[in-house]
Structure 1
Amino acid sequence: MTSLLRLCVYVMFALLAFAANSVLCRLALNDGLIDSAQFTTWRLLSGAVTLVFLCACQSVKLQRNDLKATWREGSWLSAVALFVYALGFSYAYVTLETGTGALILFGAVQLTLVVLAVRAGQQLVGLEWLGLAIAFAGFVYLVLPTLSSPSLLGFVLMTLAGMAWGLYTWRGKISAKPLFATTSNFVRTIPMLLVALVVVYLNSEQAPSAQLEGIILAVTSGAMMSGLGYAIWYAVLPYLSASIAAVLQLLVPIIATIGGVVFANESITLHLIIATLSVLGGVLLVIIARKRTSKNA
């Protein structure tokens, strides 16, 4: 397999993994196979185990100092952002369809990254402001009071999840070892997961239960689509420009929508198509304008 072909295969797997997270979560929650808190717990736990294994494969002879260095690559702020993303993601998909949730998530991620870039001192040109306005208009249109609009609570939760993932992605840029940082952050979410489960259990009239199929879907989402998917994505990022990587991620909501139709018997509405074109088109304008600005700098 040539290097270019291998790169294309890895990129496609990573994008499919991102979209599959939405489909797996929707299938598990929509069919009542597991509750949101337990889905999040199994997902992050299995992701942490997978990432620890991948780190061990990179450093076969892990010494005590290596473990400390791996732990220090992460941070509690990044872990909190990861936890908020995963929990908001799971609870949002109780009411959102697959494609709608993925659109809100990745739209919020890209817009959050733009806001963080501006906060860091980057100046926006006219085309970027136009793109932001179009994307924001798409979000507004998505939640207009029509029969095909998502629930307001689901929209808010998924937006918060996207903002958290955007912050997590932004902070990941400062890490020299993204895989080890991701592993450390996943492991740091474990105490947060335990607290969340206790809170859910104390506020439930009956003990939370999960079917085996729901646990399998959650573990698949965590181990393969999150752990392995993130690892592969980080591996290919050095070979992609920032603009290409951003554009490729805009394919995820489209792939997720198709997955929702095929696996969850969901329908594609004109309302969703218009909102998708507006949000993704606006973000694409921002990316194009940013690339032009960097070339002229």
Structure 2
Amino acid sequence: MVKERFPQLSSSKVLVTGGAGFIGSNLCETLLALEAEVICLDNFSTGKKENLSIFIDNPRFTLIEGDIRDLGTCHEAAKGVDFILHEAALGSVPRSLKDPITSNDVNVSGFLNMLVAARDAKVKRFIYAASSSTYGDSENLPKIENVIGKPLSPYAITKYVNELYAEIFKNAYDLDTIGLRYFNVFGRKQDPNGAYAAVIPKFVIQLMNYESPVINGDGTYSRDFTYIDNVIQMNLLALTVESGDALNEVYNTAFGDRTNLLELTSLLKEYLSEYDSKIAEVPIKHGPNRPGDIPHSLASVEKAKSKLGYDPQYDIRTGLKEAVNWYWNNLQ
């Protein structure tokens, strides 16, 4: 289905920065299936080589181990490519609060290096991972792209600065860009381990080990959880959209629905219990709210639907079933 919809990518050369990460490796895999030539740039600070294992020997795949904070490496990686999918970043609000300098170095200086490399290599289009954190303290629901608030963390500042730089590079150098504001992406290959693991894989692995997940707050905080295949579709649409009006914009990348943490843990227990009935009895614990967290997040995806033809196929239930199946079969 994907191959029939995006045949124009079969002859393209695409650089995926952060290509060994959760989203990046899924994009690399999809692009290779579309018969594109793929270059992956990653320093493996958060990405994993095992994420590349199923296509590392593909003759159309090239791995460059390097850091986007080095401009020379960025120039090397961008040489001769048609498109760049810029996924490399240090995510996590808590990480940025603990170490704002490194988050800024990677997410701002590294981003600027990649823009410069894209400009100098004359790439056709630069697609980058923006973030729903850009909405900051705006209480509007659903979130609409042109209404944002003040950032609530260093991470949120860095992702907003990315959008500002992208606009400048279009105006000053005529580099076409599209920013995708990701909303709580989850799915296969998302790392359940580490201090900054996302909530879904972290809770899955804890429940599989009969450990009680800890919900920050009373569990009523809600998010627009977005399955990885919806995100892949958005990236492919951003790469191939022909309308000039669709370029040099930012788009919410989400499903357009919200689920609170109590509902989320209930669904996880339900789906995991199909594999192990004892998981249904694991109790849930509560802890304090996290600094920098907003209470609710819900995206409007109308702009993406109208300008890109976005048609998300995976709601929270469908996506969670897919994700739980992957974790059960790969993390036992």
Q: How does the TM-score come out when normalised to structure 2?
A: 0.26
Q: Tell which has more relative contact order, 1 or 2 (C-alpha 8 A, sep 6+).
A: 1
TM-score norm. by structure 1 comes to: 0.28
